[in-house]
Amino acid sequence: MASPGNFNDTLFRLYEHYVGEPESGKDVYGYWVFILGCIVALTGLVAFLVLYAGDANSTFYIRVTGVLGMTALSLCLFGIVLMLPVRRRGVQASVFGLLIAFGGVTTFGMVYPDDWRGFGDDYSVEVITVYATGLAILAGVTALIPAVTGQKGKYVSEEGAKDNPEVLTGDALDGAQFAAFRDENGDWKWHILHLEALAASMDSALTRPDAEMDIEEVKSQIGSAGLMELTTSAFRLYETRDGIWEWTLVREDGSVVARCGDSFADRDGAEAAVSFLKDRGPVADVIEIDDAAFNYYEERDRWHWQLLDDERRALAKSPTDYGSKADAEAGASSFVDSFEEAKLLTMEHVGIELLERSNGWTWRFVDTDDEELALAEETYSSRRDAEEAIEALLPSLDDAAVTISGEPTYELFTSGHEWRWRLVGRNEQVVARNPNTAGSYQEIERTTDQFAENVAQADVFEIEDALYERYRTDDEWRWRLVTEDREIVAASTEPHETADDAQAAIQRMREQASEADLIEFESSAFQVYEADTGEWRWRLIDEDGNVLADSGTEHSSKGEAAEAMMTLKQQAPDAELLEIETAAFELFVDDGDWGWRLIDDAGKLIAEDPSSHPTRAAARQAMDRLVENLDTESRTMERAAFQTFVRDDDWNWRFVLPSGTVVAENEDSASTRDQIISEIERIRAVAEDADRTRIGDVFVQIYGNDAWRWRLLDRDRSPIATAADTYDDRDGVISAVDDLTAAAAEAPIFQIEDAVIRLTNGDGWSWELIDQERTVLAQSGVTCAQRSEATELVDELRRLASLAGRVDFDVASFELVSADSGWTWRLIDESGEIVATSAESFETTEGARRSVSDIRDLIPAASILEIDGVSFELHDSEDGWKWRLVDEHGEPMSESTKAYANRTDAREAMTDVKVYAPDGWIEFTE
């Protein structure tokens, strides 16, 4: 972006190029304001044509073009005022008029058309009056000032003007001019004038006013200028315009050969630097670093080391000081040994460090600043075990779930290939879990819904030994006999329309079972039985109770039915013959498993064993449990309920759906029934509205109140790692966890055996060499903008460190430096501070070395000159004697245009300038 100064210079340059030399800056500004007015007028005209030809609303284009036109006229008049020979008061009046005119333009844009001539409040007269007043002031200044001043000659070039002599245009150093004048009698005479250019400016001025200002400054100071004659080299001490002191070393011909390396707050500092250079410069050695070298230096009686490259940058330096130079050398040697073999620790955000403790190995998360983020809870017998543990952990961190301690949550997780859930209460205790696994996440999710949706209204009941439960499935009622452990002893074999029907079926089963005989068969059997109508019938059933054949007709007597049955028995000789007069229990075997069923006296199946048993005895035992509990109570299971029960002398509960499915059970038992009831009530308070979180192998738990922390837990809620820091709020700890889990997958696993190189990023990327105890053995002396640059620097250091030589910067040393412009030198003291720099550059190192040799010869004889005012410097150059005018800040203002054959001629020319220049007139030529 161009600065205001550059824009102003551009205006002046364009004016001088296309218009001519301005009399003042006011002419330039007036011209460009006039041009701006013309541009605005042209813009208004184009806007009018475009809007008028288009479909724009007429009031809109009138307002736009009106504002542009009124603005253009105001600017043009103001530009003309500035270009006229108007005094300051006239310019001030025109500015006032311009502001009034702009006020009229602004109000016109605001009130038109809503409050304009016949509409609204009608401010048309007021707006026109304000604008006309501004134009009247501008027009009055434009029209009246020339007439009042009468300076017409300002606008017309003089007749008979001739070309300026070459000496005035800078094309020659001397020349002649005829000057015609009238004598005392009024007659014309003339003189031939010798014009000679005695001095030239050192700098050029951008504009004529700037050049005039420079000339006036020289005129005002040249008469009082003193004389400093340079017969030998000299140190020039001066105070700059910024109030700081500097020095330069000049030859006897005035050319600068050296400058101070730094500026000074006062004169004493500059003098001390010059004294140091005069004392140490002539004997200072030249030091040239090929690739890299170690330097050892003393500071406040303590020694340090640094590894310098060929540009004298401290690539590496000691992090501490040493009591002796030998200790510093030993520290540098230790750095070389450790750095070459040290691994480079590169991590974007986080890393995992393996640590050896007294009781085994562990690991921790660390950030790029080597701050501990979290420490593992477990220790391992070997480093490899710890490494395997973190390797197994890292893939799970990327999508690790986050839970909040104190907020009830259903945690859904896998167990092998099956899914489970647990409910965690506000005190971080597991208060419930599902007793069975599910094959999919959707299935286990459904069980949590079943628990949460029914827990608030669930009843609480208890089974002492066994209990008949009537329940509904698909709008049909069934019954089952269950024990305290939810073992189903017997179940209905057919559905019922109502709960009462199911209860009646239970009662009928009780009556039949109480009188039933036990029938055991392993294959098919013939049964002769009396039907409800009193007639006798027979049928052939298999071992599963299925009817294979039926008599089809009724017989009047048992013998008649038996005789009919015997005809068919000849075709099934292996079938047993069963004669049913009452209900009977049947023990049977199916595919090697045993079971029982209850057949009523009509041969109808009214109850059966819902389970199978490996032996006949086991089936018989199951049948006996039914008989033992025939008269137990029954209840209707219309909704889910908590069943309390005793196990190992402690009270527990399970949550049973009407279908008999158990979807939840307690985690911890209670010593009394009242306690388990209280626990159920607490669960009701959290289970209905608890969050649901799907957790993997690991998950993150956030906990705290005023100070928040986090910890990493495994699937069984056992702590894996705990955060080292606390956070002010929950959002802060969640953000930290998100950052860690996002970066963990790419985190490097490392161990510091002897030493490691760690990259750090403060104001820029740098490195540190650290050991196991985090003691810094060496550190970077430079910073890099990019991490890749720091990595490249470390690689370069590995190559240079073992090959680095040694340099000794004693009290003072010359150092050769390669720059874009060539080779230069600088003088450095024992602390590495730059005392002096070369004012010249050289193509080769040999040229820089010769310059150092010349400096050594110049320094002893160099005088010290303090510049406290404007002065002439007279010196002898290769071409002859010259002089130069220098201001009090040491900056050259003017110099002689030529060299003189001897000192006397140069001094006379300098004296002429000093005498005549203060009264000289200023003539500007093209």
Cis peptide before 408 (omega within 30 of 0): no
Residue 151 has pLDDT above 50, yes or no: no
pLDDT at 672: 93
Other CB atoms within a 10 A radius of the CB of residue 841 amount to 17
Q: Which of 309, 332, 300 is nearest to 319 (CA)?
A: 332
Q: Which of 825, 747, 867, 899 is nearest to 237 (CA)?
A: 867
pLDDT at 160: 36
Residue 149 has pLDDT above 60, yes or no: no
Provide the H-helix boundaries in 464-594.
499-515, 558-569
Q: Which of 395, 396, 400, 392 is nearest to 693 (CA)?
A: 400
If one compares 48 and 797, the residue with the highest pLDDT of the two is 797
Residue 559 has pLDDT above 70, yes or no: no
281-301 average pLDDT score: 75
Which of 19-23, 546-550, 778-782, 842-846 has the highest average model confidence (pLDDT)?
778-782
Whole-number Å distance between alpha carbons of 461 and 634: 12
pLDDT at 195: 60
How many Cα atoms occupy the beta-carbon half-sphere of 353 within 13 Å? 26
If one compares 881 and 339, the residue with the highest pLDDT of the two is 339
52-56 average pLDDT score: 57
Tokens representing 128?
């026109």
C-beta of residue 764 within 8 angstroms of C-beta of residue 413: no
Tokens representing 183?
């004598």
Which distant-in-sequence residues (6+ apart) come within 8 Å of 705 by Cβ? none
What SS3 class is residue 30? helix
Residue 441 has pLDDT above 60, yes or no: yes
Q: Which of 44, 14, 9 is nearest to 31 (CA)?
A: 14
C-beta of residue 609 within 8 angstroms of C-beta of residue 445: no
Distances (CA, A) of 771 to 759, 768, 775: 14, 10, 6
pLDDT at 77: 77
C-beta of residue 292 within 8 angstroms of C-beta of residue 315: yes
Q: What is the DSSP letter of 750?
A: E
347-352 average pLDDT score: 83
- Which single residue is written with the structure tokens 């340059």? 13
C-beta of residue 610 within 8 angstroms of C-beta of residue 488: yes
pLDDT at 644: 94
If one compares 824 and 905, the residue with the highest pLDDT of the two is 824
C-beta of residue 292 within 8 angstroms of C-beta of residue 804: yes
Range of lowest pLDDT (538-542, 797-801, 819-823, 835-839)? 538-542
Residue 147 has pLDDT above 60, yes or no: no
912-924 average pLDDT score: 64
pLDDT at 220: 65
Which distant-in-sequence residues (6+ apart) come within 8 Å of 355 by Cβ? 361, 362, 363, 364, 751
pLDDT at 155: 30
Other CB atoms within a 10 A radius of the CB of residue 585 amount to 23
Q: Which of 473, 435, 493 is nearest to 481 (CA)?
A: 493
How is 112-132 classified by DSSP, letter by letter? TTTTSSSSTT--HHHHHHHHH
pLDDT at 152: 40
Residue 424 has pLDDT above 90, yes or no: yes
Q: How far is it between the farthest Cα atoms of the chain?
A: 190
What is the CA angle 690-692-694, rounded to 5? 155
690-698 average pLDDT score: 92
What SS3 class is residue 169? helix
Please give the backbone phi and psi of residue 468, each rounded to the nearest 5 degrees, phi first: -80, 130
If one compares 596 and 432, the residue with the highest pLDDT of the two is 432
C-beta of residue 906 within 8 angstroms of C-beta of residue 881: yes
CA 539 to mean position of chain CA atoms:
87
Q: Which of 418, 374, 306, 260 is nearest to 835 (CA)?
A: 260
Burial class (CB in 10 A: 0-12, 13-18, 19+), 662: middle
> What percent of the chain stands above pLDDT 70?
73
If one compares 623 and 654, the residue with the highest pLDDT of the two is 654
Other CB atoms within a 10 A radius of the CB of residue 117 amount to 12
**What angle do helix axes 58-83 and 88-111 make, rounded to 10 degrees?**
180
Tokens representing 287?
């030091």
The long-range contacts involving 823-832, CB below 8 angstroms and separated by at least 24 positions, are 823/847, 823/848, 824/848, 825/286, 825/851, 825/852, 825/855, 826/261, 827/261, 827/277, 827/280, 827/281, 827/284, 828/312, 829/276, 829/280, 830/297, 830/298, 831/297, 831/299, 832/295, 832/297, 832/312
Range of lowest pLDDT (554-563, 666-675, 836-845)? 554-563
pLDDT at 467: 92
Q: Which amino acid is at 596?
A: W
pLDDT at 4: 59
What SS3 class is residue 268? helix
Range of lowest pLDDT (481-495, 574-588, 835-849)? 574-588
Tokens representing 725?
């820091």
Whole-number Å distance between alpha carbons of 559 and 191: 180
Whole-number Å distance between alpha carbons of 533 and 529: 11
Average pLDDT of every residue of the chain: 78
How many Cα atoms occupy the beta-carbon half-sphere of 187 within 13 Å? 2
Q: What are 227's strand-pairing partners? A: 872
C-beta of residue 752 within 8 angstroms of C-beta of residue 734: no
Tokens representing 478?
């069934």
Whole-number Å distance between alpha carbons of 681 and 663: 17
Whole-number Å distance between alpha carbons of 694 and 467: 37
**What angle do helix axes 267-280 and 845-861 make, rounded to 10 degrees?**
110
Residue 459 has pLDDT above 90, yes or no: yes
Residue 837 has pLDDT above 80, yes or no: yes
Signed CA dihedral, 763, 768, 770, 775: sign only: negative
Which distant-in-sequence residues (6+ apart) come within 8 Å of 835 by Cβ? 260, 261, 273, 276, 277, 812, 826, 827, 828, 829
Tokens representing 355?
């640590």
Residue 531 has pLDDT above 70, yes or no: no
Range of lowest pLDDT (178-187, 352-361, 714-723, 791-800)? 178-187
Which of 22-36, 173-187, 399-413 has the highest average model confidence (pLDDT)?
399-413
How many Cα atoms occupy the beta-carbon half-sphere of 672 within 13 Å? 3
Per residue in 111-146, pLDDT (tens digit) is: 777 767 767 667 677 777 877 777 777 777 666 555
Per residue in 730-757, pLDDT (tens digit) is: 889 999 999 888 888 888 888 887 888 8
pLDDT at 157: 34
Whole-number Å distance between alpha carbons of 37 and 69: 9
Strand duo 776-780 + 765-770: pairing: antiparallel
If one compares 893 and 321, the residue with the highest pLDDT of the two is 321
If one compares 822 and 878, the residue with the highest pLDDT of the two is 822
pLDDT at 446: 94
426-442 average pLDDT score: 91
**pLDDT band at 435; cut points 50, 70, 90:** very high
Whole-number Å distance between alpha carbons of 749 and 747: 7
Residue 712 has pLDDT above 90, yes or no: yes
Q: What is the DSSP letter of 106?
A: H
**pLDDT band at 889; cut points 50, 70, 90:** low
Whole-number Å distance between alpha carbons of 289 and 805: 9
804-818 average pLDDT score: 68
Which of 19-33, 92-106, 249-263, 358-372 has the highest average model confidence (pLDDT)?
358-372
224-234 average pLDDT score: 64
pLDDT at 785: 87
Residue 572 has pLDDT above 70, yes or no: no
C-beta of residue 276 within 8 angstroms of C-beta of residue 261: no
pLDDT at 156: 31
Give the global pTM: 0.52
**pLDDT band at 433; cut points 50, 70, 90:** very high
Whole-number Å distance between alpha carbons of 872 and 906: 11
